[in-house]
Structure 1
């Protein structure tokens, strides 16, 4: 069996669809109290700030941690899923995402939005084609679903981008669920805690039960941000504040996952990335993210609109690459489970 740098035996990798083996998720272990306390305290603080000042939390959080978490997430994905994020597939994905970056750098228009949507579904199509090799029926079904979803997104682009914004903050749940396979004990409690902040807290905010605690009032930048994160048909002052609070809360917890938890509790991913990209070994990745974040914060202070547009373009790499990786991960886990059941 393979061993980690500390010499502990690792779990066997889960075969992905098409015969690709995912790397083992690290040594099986018990999870101490610190991660549970860290997530609980972070969620409580993030919720308090989201209720008190969702606009400030969303803007200042982005300025402080936006580019840093981009770098750290890309490092994790490129290291943890190195067996997939390589070769022709990686080049294709990068080409498609670069096309999305160019779309976002253009002045906003219906054409640039449509092009971004088509490129996004191209990413998913590439992942399906790779992940469903040898399973033509599932591949055909996936193609039909992608075509239908793509048509809906093109018909209602405003809804597409609202869903994308919130979905990006929810996907850490799947990465954390994949990470938790290493746990000998405490996995159920760990997943319940993650589901609590990813699903339960946003549901409470959207239900209106916490409206009495919302201190923010409509107007100015609050209305602009609320419109960006609220489905158009539901956009009222009250609903807009709820969706903005949800976004601010989930964005903050998103940063907790990528800046604190995964770098601390899966260093093996960073080690594999270091082997692939020695120029960003160790603290250099942190320095790159922090330095770029300082420049972004200065741009925000001078011209927030331009800074937000530039960030949205650069963030496309981490925001869009995670979706094909997660799709292939789900397909791979499903294939492995089916093979296990057949043997039984």
Structure 2
């Protein structure tokens, strides 16, 4: 909860800066306009869900799959595009049948997404370093959460005070329900909550510290697209909006979280089409991926060459 209040808005701003800068050849023109239109509709659905509930959540599921379909249409052609459409249709039917599971999976998947961006960034590293780096990322994304779900931290969980959570965020059962499968018992629900909290903390670490520090070229590429948000202005924007939201959290945590979840849709949903474009074969986009500021002999150009060869 405190991590969400302190870093939630800031990591939204910094992730959008990285993704729209690093993957500018993918996120541009009509494709970007379509994505922004669809995600804005999701924002409205999340705001409407505060009042109308499940119908708005059903609409979000449908529009969310439309975002994925747009990513597939951008990356694929021919029979592969038809196959992806069939897969999305089946997945959409499953999500509509069990919507509560859909949103739990979406919450955890969003926290896992940095693995793909870190994996892609690591292509710029020497081979030996790259293997170690990628192994570490797999460890914190999959190995540690698996151990937590197995119960290695159960003794520590027994010391957590549910009353402390309830005094600030309301009913602890509602907090657990955001990250645990429906119907999970108390112990399993607590384990899923701990996994979610751990992955979310690492999620913030990646977007707020690691990539701004180690991938400055993405920020420079973003600033060429949005010059009025240069340098520390992005940090100031994130911190300022975060301060406003923190006050709303302090007054009414549930309303603050609902408002945050609505506007966080932009960064949460925009990353999926980028991943699809990279994973499903947007070769032209891959070959142009930014990092080319100082000429063909530069470190950036060499790094880009490594990315292109790997993919």
TM-score, L = length of structure 1: 0.78
Give 1:226's match in structure 2, choosing from 176, 188, 193: 176
- Aligned to 1:225, what secondary structure does the other structure show? helix
Matched, 1:111 2:55: yes
Q: Counterpart in 2 of 1:246?
A: 195
Listed as ranges, the matches of 1:1-344 within 5 Å are 59-106=1-48, 107-133=51-77, 136-184=78-126, 185-214=128-157, 215-218=159-162, 220=166, 221-233=171-183, 235-332=184-281
- CA distance in 2: counterparts of 1:284 and 1:319, whole angstroms: 22
- CA distance in 2: counterparts of 1:218 and 1:256, whole angstroms: 26
Q: May I ask how many residue pairs the two structures share in their alignment?
A: 278
Q: Is the 8 A contact 2:75 2:282 kept in 1?
A: no
Q: Counterpart in 1 of 2:300?
A: none
Q: Is the 8 A contact 1:218 1:237 kept in 2?
A: no
- Aligned to 2:160, what secondary structure does the other structure show? coil
- Aligned to 1:209, what secondary structure does the other structure show? coil
1:225-256: CA deviation from partner (whole Å, max 9, x where unpaired): 111110114x1110111011011110000000
- Structure 1's consecutive aligned runs of 4 or more residues displaced over 3 angstroms after TM superposition are 217-221, 333-336
- CA distance in 2: counterparts of 1:267 and 1:114, whole angstroms: 39
Task: Note the residue ranges of structure 1 that are not aligned, 5 or more in a row.
Answer: 1-58
Give the C-alpha shift of residue 122 in structure 1: 0.3
Q: Is the 8 A contact 1:68 1:290 kept in 2?
A: yes
Which one is further off, 94-103 or 214-223? 214-223
Q: Is the 8 A contact 1:208 1:242 kept in 2?
A: yes
Q: Is the 8 A contact 1:132 1:138 kept in 2?
A: yes
Give the C-alpha shift of residue 332 in structure 1: 2.5
Give the C-alpha shift of residue 108 in structure 1: 4.6
Q: Is the 8 A contact 1:124 1:323 kept in 2?
A: yes
- Aligned to 2:13, what secondary structure does the other structure show? helix
Give the C-alpha shift of residue 180 in structure 1: 0.4
Cα 1:316/1:182, change in 2 over 3 Å: same
